[in-house]
């Protein structure tokens, strides 16, 4: 410790020495503790610190090339989303709602790599009551699971790939996966892969459109969820009456956006 680093009693030396230390620290030695990777702070006698930019607003997912999936993987996930949420008189399909885009972008973020989760070993199989004990992140589960699904199809469906199957064949296979009646090669089980992709497809279908799915708030319109309106005081006492205002999302409404 250099003399200038030594705390001096009677003045806010903790603040000064620590602050210099924080400024000098560019890399986090530990895991990221907040979304923005903020450093420790000392606050006193300041009132409420307006800390603008300390939290990252969500960023609009834009259409465009896959960021995680290979073209083949993207095609398969779209085909699955199209069967889990088929187009009918209630809504467009999960594929057309953007569920595969949503999953692709999620896998490219912290969700895909489980970096907020406890991923220290030893990894050992547990009881169902102890939750997922796998060391595989969603990124690995998708990569391995999609490959295993395609291999399974080619092996058992006369050389066809998953996307070549008829809608009925796809549904039969997905139903068998759901019941874990299909055996996949590799580390990802058919049942757990099905649960994962069902969960993520539903997330994409119902999440705010800013994340790339639920295109044009299609699921919210279908069920009557008004989205992010944030103030219903005028409707609380209107018992058993339909709420008729159209939904709004974090990014506003489709018809507010610039055309073209």
Please say whether the beta carbons of 146 and 110 come within 8 A.
no
d(CA 61, CA 106): 10
Backbone torsions φ then ψ of 252, nearest 5 degrees = 95, -145
Of 3, 71, 129, 256, the residue at the interface with other proteins (CB under 8 A) is 129
Which residues in the 48-67 window bind other proteins by CB under 8 A? 48-52, 54-55, 57-58
In angstroms, give the least distance from the CB of 34 to other proteins: 4
Question: Closer to other proteins at the Cβ: 167 or 254?
Answer: 167
Contact 246/253 with Cβ under 8 angstroms?
yes
Q: Directed axis angle between helix 138-156 and helix 190-206, to 10°?
A: 120
Nearest CA to 245 out of 226, 218, 219, 221 is that of 226
Between 39 and 108, CB nearer to other proteins: 39
Quote the least distance from Cβ 110 to other proteins, whole Å.
Answer: 8
User: Is residue 246 within the footprint of other proteins (CB under 8 A)?
Assistant: no
Of 167-206, binders to other proteins (CB under 8 A) are 171, 174, 178, 198, 202-203, 206
Min CB(198)–other proteins separation in Å: 6
Rounded CA separation 21/75 (Å): 49
Q: 62 or 259: whose CB is closer to other proteins?
A: 62
Among 16, 67, 86, 253, binds other proteins (CB under 8 A): 86
Of the candidates 226, 219, 225, 223, the residue with the CA atom closest to the CA atom of residue 205: 219
Contact by Cβ (8 Å): 84, 198: yes
Among the listed residues 72, 155, 179, 229, the single contact to other proteins using CB under 8 A: 229
DSSP H or E run through 198: helix 190-206
CB nearer to other proteins: pick between 178 and 180: 178
Residue 148: Cβ within 10 Å count: 20
76, containing H or E segment: helix 71-84
Identity of the residue, 88 or 255, whose beta carbon is nearer to other proteins in the bound complex: 88
Least distance in Å: CB of 232 to other proteins?
A: 4
Which stretch in 69-77, 114-122, 139-147, 156-164 sits in contact with other proteins by CB under 8 A? 114-122
Q: Does 257 bind other proteins (CB under 8 A)?
A: no
Decide if residue 132 touches other proteins (CB under 8 A). yes
């Amino acid at each position: 410790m250099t003399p200038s680093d030594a705390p001096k009693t009677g003045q806010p030396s903790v603040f000064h020495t620590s602050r210099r230390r924080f400024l000098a620290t560019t890399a986090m030695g530990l895991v990221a503790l907040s979304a923005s990777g903020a450093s420790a702070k000392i606050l006193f006698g300041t009132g409420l610190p307006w800390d603008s930019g300390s939290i990252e607003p969500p960023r609009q997912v834009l259409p465009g090339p896959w960021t995680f999936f290979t073209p083949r993987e993207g095609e398969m996930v779209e085909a699955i989303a199209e069967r889990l949420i088929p187009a009918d008189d209630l809504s467009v399909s999960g594929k057309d709602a953007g569920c595969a885009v949503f999953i692709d972008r999620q896998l490219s973020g912290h969700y895909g790599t489980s970096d907020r989760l406890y991923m220290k070993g030893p990894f050992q199989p547990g009881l169902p009551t102890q939750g997922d004990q796998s060391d595989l992140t969603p990124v690995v589960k998708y990569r391995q699971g999609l490959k295993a699904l395609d291999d399974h199809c080619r092996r058992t469906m006369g050389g066809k790939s998953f996307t070549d199957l008829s809608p009925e064949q796809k549904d039969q296979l997905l139903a068998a996966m759901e019941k874990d009646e299909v055996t996949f090669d590799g580390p990802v089980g058919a049942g757990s892969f099905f649960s994962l992709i069902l969960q993520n497809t539903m997330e994409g279908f119902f999440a705010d459109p800013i994340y790339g799915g639920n295109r044009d708030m299609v699921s919210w319109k279908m069920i009557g969820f008004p989205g992010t309106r944030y103030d219903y005081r005028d409707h609380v006492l209107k018992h058993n009456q339909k709420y008729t205002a159209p939904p709004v999302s974090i990014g506003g409404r489709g018809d507010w956006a610039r055309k073209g």
